[in-house]
Amino acid sequence: MDAVTPTGSASTALLLTGGLANIIPTIVQNSGAQTAHKFVEFFIGQIRNANTRKAYGHAVRTFLDWCEKHGAERLEDISYIAVASYIEQHPGSAQTVNQHLTAIRRLFVWLVAQKVLILNPAENVVGRKHRTKIGKTPELDSAETRQLLNSFDTTHIIGLRDRVLISVMCYSFARISAVVAMNVEDYFLKGANHWIRLHEKGGKYLEWPLHHAANVYLHQYVEAAAQQEGIDWGKGMPLFRSQQRGRVQRLSNHRFDRRDAWAMVKRKVKDAGINTDACNHTFRATGITNFLENGGALEIAQEIAGHVDSRTTALYDRRREKVSLNEIERVRF
């Protein structure tokens, strides 16, 4: 459901005869034009975050495809038993299954509220139990982080960009989506210090002073980028740019994509000789763990990371893993 969708003024006929017919599941189309319209409205108007919209779209389509294969022809044919059976047979992890159930439930809540369905078959379906105290995201220790940051070739603009992208995630605990969403004006001078503005999930934005080490890296990148001919460095333009095709040392005017950032991280970590299976989220865990190891308070880490619940922040705290290893090594034969 991350494809281009029509505006609210589009007719229901357009939804079925126009470009959306290929992305609206058959089972929804069979339920009528009004239902198809409300189905699209759910993804357009009820889910603001593009990543969530994409994840929910995938979850809903997977579920509806399963229902069609098991004999349902319209949404009205889907029962509580069908939803419960789908959840029971789902091969994914508990987190994935529960995310799918949430997407399905929210869709039916919307369709019932819009009076195109009478009942919500997912209302009382229970998800899988899942409890964890330590997250699974791998993090780097201090030596590995320094090794990685020192490994970049900063004789060209792309190396400068990649180094500061990772350092901003480490020092500000920011998600990759928030970092690549930054515009030129989101790096600014406030008093005597440089600050950054991060656009986080749920329409929130955070403003924090930038760590001096990350500030040095960012200033070097901005200075080099601003000197490149053909670069539009005005307000509203992306701070982190993609690379021009075939021009290894030149930036484009387009925003750096988080998927390209993921590929860059994989490549750079391997090139630096680090064995950890790192990803974009690694640097959030790395920064939080390092902050707490050096005496930072959990509630401050929570605030910087933009977490609603401190238990979420605690998932990124890997100090207990290191303590456990030290204790285990006490066993000697």
The structure's pTM equals 0.66
| Residue 219 phi, psi dihedral angles, 5° rounding | -65, -40
Is pLDDT larger for residue 333 or for residue 41?
Answer: 41
pLDDT band at 328; cut points 50, 70, 90: low
Ordered domains of the chain (ranges, CATH) = 12-113 (1.10.150), 142-328 (1.10.443.10)
The full DSSP string for 3-22 is: S----TTS-HHHHHHSGGGG
Task: Compute CA distances 93 → 56, 71, 88, 104, 277, whole Å.
Answer: 16, 26, 12, 17, 20
Q: Can you say whether the dihedral through the CA atoms of 318, 320, 322, 324 is positive or negative?
A: negative
Amino acid at 23: I
Write out pLDDT tens, residues 87-144: 999 998 888 899 999 999 999 999 999 999 999 999 999 988 755 555 567 889 899 9
How is residue 2 written in tokens?
């991350």
317 and 298 Cβ atoms separated by less than 8 Å: yes
Phi-psi region of 249 (alpha: psi -120 to 50; beta: other; left: phi over 0): alpha
Write out pLDDT tens, residues 254-298: 999 999 999 999 999 999 999 988 988 899 889 988 888 888 888
Mean pLDDT of 39-62: 89
Is pLDDT larger for residue 21 or for residue 42?
Answer: 42
Write out pLDDT tens, residues 179-220: 999 999 999 999 889 999 998 766 677 889 999 999 999 999
- Distance spanning both ends of the chain, measured CA to CA: 59
Task: Compute CA distances 324 → 293, 327, 328, 329, 330, whole Å.
Answer: 15, 5, 6, 9, 10
Nearest residue to 107 (alpha-carbon basis) of 136, 147, 67: 67
Q: What is the pLDDT of residue 11?
A: 45
Is pLDDT larger for residue 63 or for residue 10?
Answer: 63
3-state secondary structure of 209: strand
Mean pLDDT of 25-30: 92
Q: What percent of the chain has pLDDT over 70?
A: 86
Q: What is the pLDDT of residue 12?
A: 45
Q: What is the CA radius of gyration of the chain?
A: 24
Mean pLDDT, the chain, as a whole number? 85
Q: Which residue has 């509806």 as its token pair?
A: 64
Angstrom distance (rounded) from CA 63 to CA 89: 11
